Structure 1
Amino acid sequence: MTDSSSSEIIKEIWGYTPSYGANLCLLILWCMVGIVQLILALPTLQFFFGISMLLGCGLEIIGYRSRVAAHSDLGSLLNYMLNYLCLMVAPVCLMAAIYSAFGNVIEAYSKDYSVLKPINYRRIFILLDFLSFCIQIGGSITSASDDTSTAEAGGHVLLGGLLLQVITMFIFMALQATFFIRVSKAKHSGHDAYLDPRYESVRNSRYFKFTVVAMFVSTVLIFVRSIYRVFLETNDDSGAAMKKEAFFLGMDGFMCCIAVALITVFYPGISFRKMRKLRKSSSYSEVEKTNTDAQGNIYAPPNNTPEFNGPTRVII
């Protein structure tokens, strides 16, 4: 196959010429968000969260840099593959950061209200996230094969990785909702005093509350983007509307950009840094079986009351 014919095939795959202005705008936005994420990660010591967010931002930057370059070089295979591969897997890195941060959010309230132990949100969901990442990478590379049957198999593998990502996020959101329903139930039943007393100042701060909301909204936005990607991968070339760039930029680019912008404005590491300081200076016992503060007052949630049956204990 000649270079000329390969170039024509790549142009046909694109289906349109990427907009220079719109993609440059997203490229600039992602660069700005990435720089701010780096600035915030260093003083707050958010190593895993910071690295995951920066990796996600970096992949988005490479993806949109490739789209900008493709405006004047539409036949470049490199530009197409970098656009396709980087923008496909970047949200996996972004979600890994959110999974990790939610464990700290649980600790700020009480792990007794969570279905999973905080550490297991990191272990289970990040493991599934990494598996999804590997599957999507493998599927994306295989789908670029010149052999039709191999390319189709790669497309199926890629779709499987996307479906795993969607299912993982759905379960995570369900567990998030369950946790906050239990916390809300405790507060409305007058049992909010049974939350971990060390972090009361953190929980009551408006910034922390906005941070929790921002994390949940960001998860929903990335979830919607992932559903769009699944829908896109399951439609053939006859679904021309799905290939229009404006729809792609709105459902993929701006969805993820808004999600990360929210987490940048309400950066979890700021609240988590306060939690670390409180943990170091706290006189409260870390021994879970006693569940008492420095004055000997029990703060563990009650097992049975008329108004509130207490949280379901961590089961995993």
Structure 2
Amino acid sequence: MDAVELFTRDDNSLYDGYSLSFAVNLVVAIIFGIFLVTHVFLARRARQWLCLYLWGIGLSLEFIGYIGRVINSKNMDNLNAFIMQAVCITIGPCYLMGGIYFLIGQLTIVHGQKYSALRPVQYAVVFIILDFIAVGLQSTGGAILSSATTLSTENLGIHITLGGLAFQLLSTLIFQGYWYVFLYKIYQANKLEGDSAFPKKYESIRKSKTYKPFLYAISLSVVLIFIRSCYRVAELAKDDGKLSYDEIYPMILDALMIILASLCLLLVHPGIIFRKVDAKIKISLIECFRPREVDDIEMQFVDADNLSAKQLRQTL
């Protein structure tokens, strides 16, 4: 029995028996395509390079994944399209979270490192590493599934992928704990001392009209991605459960969650918030163990609108 026979042993068994909607998946793919173009435009203008790459990869994977579903809606026996959507849609949100981790590092500088349990570089390094471990497990599981020729090998791939999703779920949960404690501390500090409790250097960022919505948007995005991860774990761990037999569930609990999370981040994009800030973060494991008073992110105000292309390159 080859891989194609294994995955298509029953009608539409690639998708556990349910049919795909061409129109719905095409609309979702178009939405992610629009989000990708918008993100690249905003991130390049503000020179948020790490965020540009991580979110760019994440949105690209979502776009490619739903193109795979569009192809499968017309040809359910196309195993390559099935693998394309299964892998890309599974790991795409990991890259979106990676961009969020980097932004949280910036926000600890804007408000002051003393309010954060972790140093800025630790958000970027530790949680991105955890996410890449999750991506590695999910990709390995997907690769085993794509080449499986026996049911036992297929189950092995499923279990490894499930482990990667569960690992991602755990790391996101831990991150949320740190994030909400940080938000509570800056809320209390602002309540007692006002904005004077935070570094004056970044006062203009904190007082911008879009800054508070930006904090809410990040929080909501993390919750939405977490909900999606919970669904994927439940769906993959199912035993012929209902979650896998109706396309409405992945459309609402996966596609819609990531669309809303991406929309939140685009509406108050860091390219708008940090329009005149050049944020540089030292991505180094050694930095994680240096004294807390050492600055991790160096921000300097620049007028990006009035800089030439050559000058912009020199600021990198």
Identify the TM-score tier after normalising by the shorter chain.
0.7 to 0.9
> What's 2:307 paired with?
none
The percentage of counterpart residues that share the same residue type is 30
> Do structure 1's residue 156 and structure 2's residue 159 form an aligned pair?
yes
Matches within 5 A, 1:236-315: 236-237=239-240, 239-276=241-278
Q: Which residue of structure 1 aligns with residue 199 of structure 2?
A: 196
Report the Cα distance in structure 2 between the residues aligned to 1:125 and 1:105, rounded to whole angstroms. 16
Range moving further from structure 2, 129-138 or 10-19 = 10-19
Q: Distance in 1 between matches of 2:69 and 2:204?
A: 46
The answer for the alignment partner of 2:299 in structure 1 is: none
Decide whether the 8 Å contact of 2:25 with 2:69 is kept in 1: yes
Report the count of equivalent residues: 279
Q: 1:165 aligned to 2:168?
A: yes
Deviation at 1:189, TM superposition (A): 1.7
Q: What letter is aligned with 1:111?
A: Q
Aligned partner (choices 33, 56, 72) of residue 70 of structure 1? 72
8 Å contact from structure 2 (residues 110, 202) kept in 1: yes
Residue 190 of structure 1: how far off its partner (Å): 2.3
Shift of 1:261: 1.2
After TM superposition, give the deviation of residue 9 of structure 1 in Å.
2.6
- How far apart are residue 193 of structure 1 and its match? 1.2
* Other-structure match for 2:136: 134
Determine the structure 1 residue equivalent to 2:217. Answer: 214
Task: Give the counterpart letter for 1:9 in structure 2.
Answer: R
- Give the Cα separation in 2 of the matches to 1:4 and 1:152: 16
Per-residue CA deviation, residues 8-27 of structure 1 (Å, 9 max, x unaligned), is 43721311221011101101
Alpha-carbon distance in 2 for matches of 1:199, 1:91: 30
Partner of 2:20: 18
Aligned CA RMSD, in angstroms, stands at 2.0
Paired with 2:181 and 2:171, the residues of 1 have a C-alpha distance of 15
Structure 1 alignment gaps of length 5 or more: 278-287, 290-316
Aligned to 2:121: 119
Q: Distance in 2 between matches of 1:120 and 1:68?
A: 39
Amino acid at match of 2:25: N
Q: 5+ unaligned residues in a row in structure 2: which ranges?
A: 280-292, 295-316
Length-normalised TM-score, structure 1: 0.84
Partner-residue secondary structure (3-state), 2:74: coil
Q: 1:104 to 1:63 in 2, by over 3 A?
A: same
CA shift at 1:6, angstroms? 5.8
Superposed displacement of residue 192, structure 1: 3.9
User: Is the 8 Å Cα contact of residues 107 and 118 (structure 1) preserved in structure 2?
Assistant: yes
Show the counterpart of 1:186: 189
> Is 1:105–1:212's contact at 8 Å kept on the other side of the alignment?
no
How high is the TM-score relative to the length of structure 2?
A: 0.84
Distance 1:143 1:201, change over 3 A: same
Structure 1 residue 243 displacement after superposition: 2.9
Structure showing greater radius of gyration is: 1
Q: 2:233 aligns with which of 230, 234, 238?
A: 230
